[in-house]
């Protein structure tokens, strides 16, 4: 059981659960702000780009997709920068400041008048994203202790997946009925509440006083770190190529009404929640096998979605399954990065979100590009198939090179033993009640 700084005051199971809940509330808020644009994309496009929307709704929706790309790029820039700079500070304090920044930036999104300013606000709002998830993942892993590291990460990430079940569909419903800006106002309130919850429930957890940005950046010397980032950046882009344009897929391909979109988002969110929890348990047994299994599953399911999306009932079936497979990848890549990062744990945990949001930006951009050519709203799904296949190829090369290196050095390849050893060596920061 995690203990206080002096090792004399163990945290109670109730305190651990409350702390994980507070971290999950923050993740819930981030998931809502990150994904709500997917369900409201046509509404945002018609409001901020009225002339273009009147001329070509497809072109306006594709340009509104830049808001998704801008948020993703903000995560990419902010994650390693902030995580590396704050590695030496108390993690609860850092998380509270990040929650405050989210609150202010999301409020700006809700009130700024033009597309260009909203685009900028989405970029700024995303800067704390990766650092929050990276630091929260480290705290969650430390709270549960050795042998349950991936489950700790998955429990923090549960807030993100539940956001897709409750937060995103509810905010989408509000945005459809009261305007998209009202949805972002609700998200700003969520961020304020999550910040208070973190201050009240999360125990203090020391950073590494000797850690500097320069030392954290040493993580980029490890080839396997680059492979892990490439797996997330390219492979996970397959999911976002589809998710970014799910609203027009529902209405223009499957024949659903605007009111069906929130229910499709709920379905995706339920799949993501289940996939996240299943992957958390499987990754504690074998990170590599779990990662490959979920990638292959997503590839097959995206093909099934592409050929069946014209049927609304089948769309519901396969978006659930795609959400399950996609979110199974998230905590697994997070754990993989923590495994190969050595001493640079803070920046490695945050880099996972840089990688996934490069995938977000790449998927949204490529999906928007093929829509803008007139290829239709099924085209992004096939883009997703290609990106997922590339992710499988990169993961296979990465693991093969690692096995070759282990064999050359006379090592025995055993994921479970390796993961347990890494868990005990990497979770050295102390917790204070």
pLDDT in tens, 183-215: 999 999 999 998 998 888 887 776 565 555 566
Give the pLDDT of residue 17. 79
Number of domains the chain is built from? 1
Distance of CA 276 to the CA centre of its chain: 11
Q: What is the CATH number of the domain that holds 341?
A: 1.20.1250.20
pLDDT band at 78 (very low <50, low <70, confident <90, very high): confident
Answer whether residue 1 is part of any domain. no
Answer whether residue 4 is part of any domain. no
Structure tokens at 336: 């993989």
Answer whether residue 154 is part of any domain. yes
Answer whether residue 433 is part of any domain. no
User: Whole-angstrom Cα distance, residue 383 to residue 385?
Assistant: 5
DSSP 187-241: HHHHHHHHHHHHHHHSPEE---TT--HHHHGGGGG-HHHHHHHHIIIIITHHHHH
**Contact status, residue 373 vs residue 382, Cβ threshold 8 Å:** no
Alpha helices in 220-344 (DSSP H): 223-230, 237-243, 246-248, 261-283, 287-308, 312-340
Answer whether residue 8 is part of any domain. no
Instruction: Please write the tens of the pLDDT for every residue from 120-145.
Output: 999 999 888 878 877 887 787 777 66
- This prediction has a pTM of 0.67
pLDDT band at 363 (very low <50, low <70, confident <90, very high): confident
Answer whether residue 339 is part of any domain. yes
Task: Name the one residue in this structure whose structure tokens are 């606000």.
Answer: 121
Answer whether residue 333 is part of any domain. yes
Taking each helix axis from N to C end, the angle separating 312-340 and 287-308, rounded to the nearest 10 degrees, works out to: 160
Phi, psi of 413 (to 5 degrees): -85, 115
Domain residues for the domain of 89 are: 13-428
The answer, yes or no, to whether residue 312 has pLDDT greater than 80, is yes
Answer whether residue 417 is part of any domain. yes
The answer, yes or no, to whether residue 291 has pLDDT greater than 60, is yes
């Amino acid at each position: 059981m995690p203990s206080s700084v002096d090792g004399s005051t163990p945290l109670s199971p109730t305190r651990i659960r409350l702390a994980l809940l507070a971290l999950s509330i923050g993740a819930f808020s981030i998931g809502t702000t990150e994904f709500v644009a997917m369900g409201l994309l046509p509404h945002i496009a018609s409001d901020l780009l009225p002339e273009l929307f009147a001329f070509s709704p497809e072109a306006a929706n594709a340009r509104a997709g830049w808001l998704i790309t801008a948020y993703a790029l903000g995560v990419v820039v902010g994650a390693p920068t902030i995580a590396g700079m704050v590695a030496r500070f108390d993690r609860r304090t850092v998380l509270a400041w990040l929650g405050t920044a989210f609150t202010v930036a999301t409020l700006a999104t809700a009130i700024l008048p033009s597309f260009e300013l909203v685009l900028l606000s989405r970029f700024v709002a995303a800067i704390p994203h990766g650092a929050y998830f990276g630091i929260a993942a480290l705290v969650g892993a430390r709270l549960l202790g050795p042998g349950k590291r991936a489950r700790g990460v998955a429990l923090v990430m549960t807030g993100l997946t539940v956001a897709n079940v409750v937060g995103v569909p509810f905010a989408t419903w509000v945005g459809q009925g009261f305007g998209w800006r009202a949805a972002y106002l609700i998200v700003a309130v969520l961020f304020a509440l999550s910040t208070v919850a973190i201050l009240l429930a999360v125990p203090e957890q020391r950073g590494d006083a000797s850690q500097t940005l320069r030392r954290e950046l040493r993580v980029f010397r490890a080839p396997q770190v680059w492979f892990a980032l490439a797996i997330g950046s390219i492979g996970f882009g397959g999911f976002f190529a589809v998710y970014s344009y799910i609203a027009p897929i529902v209405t223009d391909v499957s024949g659903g009404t605007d009111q069906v979109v929130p229910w499709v988002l709920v379905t995706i969110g339920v799949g993501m929640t289940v996939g996240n929890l299943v992957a958390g348990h499987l990754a504690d047994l074998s990170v590599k096998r779990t990662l490959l299994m979920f990638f292959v599953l997503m590839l097959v399911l995206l093909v099934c979605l592409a050929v069946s999306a014209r049927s609304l009932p089948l769309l519901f079936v396969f978006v659930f399954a795609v959400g399950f497979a996609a979110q199974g990848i998230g905590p697994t890549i997070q754990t993989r990065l923590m495994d190969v990062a050595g001493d640079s744990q803070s920046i490695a945990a945050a880099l996972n979100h840089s990688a996934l949001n490069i995938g977000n930006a790449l998927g949204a951009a490529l999906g928007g590009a093929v829509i803008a050519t007139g290829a239709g709203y099924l085209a992004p799904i096939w883009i997703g198939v290609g990106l997922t296949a590339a992710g499988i190829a990169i993961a296979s090369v990465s693991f093969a090179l690692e096995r070759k290196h282990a064999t050359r050095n006379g090592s025995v390849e055993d994921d479970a033993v390796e993961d347990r050893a890494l868990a005990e060596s990497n979770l050295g920061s102390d917790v204070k009640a």
